[in-house]
Structure 1
Amino acid sequence: MNGTSTGMDSNCTDGLGKTSPGMILLTLTLSVLAVLTTAINSLVITAIIVTRKLHHPANYLICSLAVTDLLVAILVMPFSIVYIVKDTWVMGQVMCNIWLSVDITCCTCSILHLAAIAVDRYRAITDAVEYSRKRTSFRAAVMISVVWLLSILISLPPLIWRQHKENQCLIKHDHIAFALYSTFGAFYIPLILILILYYKIYRAAKILYHKRGTSRLTKTEMNGHTIPKCSDREQQSPDALSPPEKSLSEPSTEGDRVRITAKSPNFQSRREKSIRRQRISGTRERKAATTLGLILGAFVICWLPFFIQEVIVNTCSSCSPSSELANFLTWLGYLNSLINPLIYTIFNEDFKKAFQKLVKCRNYL
């Protein structure tokens, strides 16, 4: 949210000059990030639209997140690059108001989408049967609409009651209340919600994987050690009229039957399959933990420094970061719009296949 940065002062220079190698390199780097963010989010949106297998309510939230991040790449990042290069706002106050509106609303919306996806995944794993019936396209549309509405409500007050400065396009308030309202609504409350939900998701997934592994192992062992009925045991027990060789060739007791069954190829095969299933469950558990760790890690690393700065700057009148630091923290937040589509799709096999077919321009409708 470059619009909430307070370090963009027209009197501050980077010391390198507008045409210095350092500024040229910085401009190229930021431009590449903007292009990559546009390309990857466009790929996610296209894959969801053209691939029938991806037409699922959960993926509609991913698609809406990609649209939000795409708007950040197209409508926010380029203006921020110009602002950094020029070191002053040269596009007028009307354009400034539009840019700040899109910047704050889209960045807030991107963060709230992550919270909505966390809620959706939490419901899906803790109440799978009931939620599978409620998880409809209409419900996904309602969730997306609520996210956008909340984003607008959170973004409007800081935009309306902000300080206007000549040749600057930023948001700074005289009242701490507006700063707390915008930062807590846009980040801190969603962060707390996401942390709680993903912790519960991880615990629920861990319990679920262990239950599945245990139940499969128990079932396999029961199949291998089936205790015959009394009538069966009587028929299979040695008989006085039976020839001696028959008595020796058949299990004489229940313990013998169990030991022989345990050595049978079928039982060994079942047990090996059960062990493999347990290993798969463990792998899935680690994969789920890795995915959740990446989601939370990327979100916190990208946005927490920026919002800490916002609270400090708007509550301490003498605390003002340098323009370099303000720009860095702002673009660190923008970077989340590039990371989001990668994390939410790279671990999904359906998305991988869709991307491969899109890149190869193959017909798979």
Structure 2
Amino acid sequence: MDFFNWTEGAFDTNSSAFDSFETVKLPVSKILLTITLSVVATLTTFFNCLVITAIAVTRKLHHPANYLICSLAVTDLLVAVLVMPFSILYILKEKWVMGEVVCTIWLSVDIACCTCSILHLAMIAIDRYRAITDAVEYSRKRTGARAGAMVAVVWLLSILISLPPLMWRHYSGDAEHEDQCIIIHHHMAFTLYSTLGAFYIPLLLILILYYKIYKAAQTLYMRREASRASRHSCMTNGSMIPSSYPAGDSDADCGPRSPDPISPPEKSFSEPSTEETPRKRDRERERVQASRKVFQSKSHRQESSSESRRSQLYQGPRISGSRERKAASTLGLIIGAFVICWLPFFVKEVIVNTCSSCSTSMEMADFLTWLGYLNSLINPLIYTIFNEDFKKAFRRLVRCSHYL
């Protein structure tokens, strides 16, 4: 098909459609739906542009770990700019009016960008898993070139996954759906290849990695709390009472141990000599009782001090528990948003393309498609809102700190 002839025809089609659009009044539900989808596309564009700008202009965010976040924002921005507007027009017209060439380009961008967005989430999970389980070694390998290579791998895999279904649709010669822009094929191999590569394998990888990330973070918190407990124990047992043990007899973890409380002099409890008078024995007995009271009061003060230190020490696990809950809630948001947005769409794809008698309405197909698009709006919020550096950068950009 000649591109210039097609362009002229497309403009003619659009002008005639526009004339008919003016004469036919749209229902209120269609208008509200169009406004809602347009707001989603606008917000997706705004937030992803905000993330990209924040990383570009903030020196503190120039870190290889944020390059994947920036690439994810670019991918979601492409979804908002190149995919969502055409989908809104498609839903509004209830048929494809922009020709076969634009349909092929739109489907290519749609499948490639959505697949790339999903694979970015899997790559971010891999990056975070390596950073928390092999922090010292991976910090040396976590360079800008390595992050760029990871981004290139994600885009390459996205193209390889999205290309075969498009090629099959291009050569199928299906004439029943000439006024629609969809991919229809009834081969199990294409369905499994596209759905497994674009969603199910990344989903399994994300679930496994984030579970390991949570367990590794939990282990790190427990080790830190155990280390703090050991230091507090050493301070309580080693610094409150001076030690009289030599260095060789000290405890391996806490240093010199404090000796047992020294009892009053043995002479005080020895049998009185025959030379002592009763008055002397009475004075000696009073001194012994006084020394016992002093010793008991000192021992009571030391015990109360150690109890207070132990009570402060038990605040550590509560702090650790709050951190674990925060980490678990963050991971839950990431996984939950991803599953809720994309799982229904890919379940529908498997059912419709493998069951000849199964079908869905256009309204349900559009709803599930836009539910997946919604993930491009949620991604920049989830992956940046819990980072203080991003929040400060956003405040400086929008100059509205009391809203963030």
* TM tier relative to shorter chain: 0.7 to 0.9
How far apart in 2 are the matches of 1:262 and 1:30?
Answer: 67
Deviations 1:49-97 (A, max 9, x none): 1111111111111111111101000000000000000111111111111
The partner residue of 2:39 within 27, 32, 35 is 32
The partner residue of 2:222 within 195, 210, 216 is 210
Q: Does 1:146 align with 2:153?
A: yes
The Cα of 1:248 is off from its aligned counterpart by: 6.6
Amino acid at match of 2:395: Q
Q: Does 1:358 align with 2:397?
A: yes
Give the structure with higher Rg (CA): 2
The Cα of 1:272 is off from its aligned counterpart by: 5.5
How far apart in 1 are the matches of 2:228 and 2:52?
Answer: 39
CA RMSD of aligned residues (A): 2.7
What's 2:281 paired with? none
Q: Does 1:132 align with 2:171?
A: no
Amino acid at match of 1:50: V
How far apart in 2 are the matches of 1:234 and 1:92?
Answer: 92
Pairing 1:14-93 to 2, within 5 Å after superposition: 19-93=26-100
What's 1:320 paired with? 359
What's 2:102 paired with? 95
What's 2:187 paired with? 175
Q: Does 1:335 align with 2:350?
A: no
How far apart in 1 are the matches of 2:111 and 2:122?
Answer: 17
Q: Does 1:113 align with 2:120?
A: yes
The partner residue of 1:263 within 304, 312, 319 is 304
What's 2:317 paired with? 278
The partner residue of 2:344 within 305, 322, 341 is 305
Amino acid at match of 2:38: S
Amino acid at match of 2:156: L
The Cα of 1:276 is off from its aligned counterpart by: 3.7
Deviations 1:11-50 (A, max 9, x none): xxxxxx8710010000000000000000011111111111
What's 2:17 paired with? none
How far apart in 1 are the matches of 2:319 and 2:385?
Answer: 19
What's 1:7 paired with? none
The partner residue of 1:230 within 242, 245, 249 is 245
Q: Stretches of 4+ moved more than 3 A in 1?
A: 231-252, 256-264, 267-277
3-state SS in 1 of match to 2:179: coil
Deviations 1:180-234 (A, max 9, x none): 1001100000011111111111111112112211221122012111172336869
How far apart in 1 are the matches of 2:237 and 2:25?
Answer: 80
Amino acid at match of 1:263: S
Q: Does 1:185 align with 2:197?
A: yes
Counterparts in 2 of 1:251 and 1:59: CA distance versus 1, 3 Å: farther
Flag structure 1 segments of 5+ consecutive residues without an equivalent. 1-16
3-state SS in 2 of match to 1:96: helix
Q: Are the equivalent residues in 2 in contact too, given 1:76–1:103 (CA < 8 A)?
A: yes
Q: Are the equivalent residues in 2 in contact too, given 1:224–1:262 (CA < 8 A)?
A: no
How far apart in 2 are the matches of 1:249 and 1:41?
Answer: 73
Q: Does 1:345 align with 2:384?
A: yes
Q: Are the equivalent residues in 2 in contact too, given 1:236–1:250 (CA < 8 A)?
A: no
The Cα of 1:271 is off from its aligned counterpart by: 4.4
How far apart in 2 are the matches of 1:111 and 1:320?
Answer: 25
Amino acid at match of 1:74: V
Percent of pairs with identical residues? 68
Counterparts in 2 of 1:208 and 1:37: CA distance versus 1, 3 Å: same
Q: Are the equivalent residues in 2 in contact too, given 1:18–1:85 (CA < 8 A)?
A: no
How far apart in 2 are the matches of 1:258 and 1:317?
Answer: 84
3-state SS in 1 of match to 2:356: coil
The Cα of 1:282 is off from its aligned counterpart by: 1.1
3-state SS in 2 of match to 1:166: coil
Q: Are the equivalent residues in 2 in contact too, given 1:225–1:258 (CA < 8 A)?
A: no
The Cα of 1:338 is off from its aligned counterpart by: 0.5
How far apart in 1 are the matches of 2:260 and 2:341?
Answer: 73
How far apart in 2 are the matches of 1:159 and 1:234?
Answer: 82
Counterparts in 2 of 1:221 and 1:92: CA distance versus 1, 3 Å: same
3-state SS in 2 of match to 1:161: helix
3-state SS in 2 of match to 1:225: helix
Deviations 1:218-274 (A, max 9, x none): 22012111172336869987668999699679869xxx987644434xx67754653
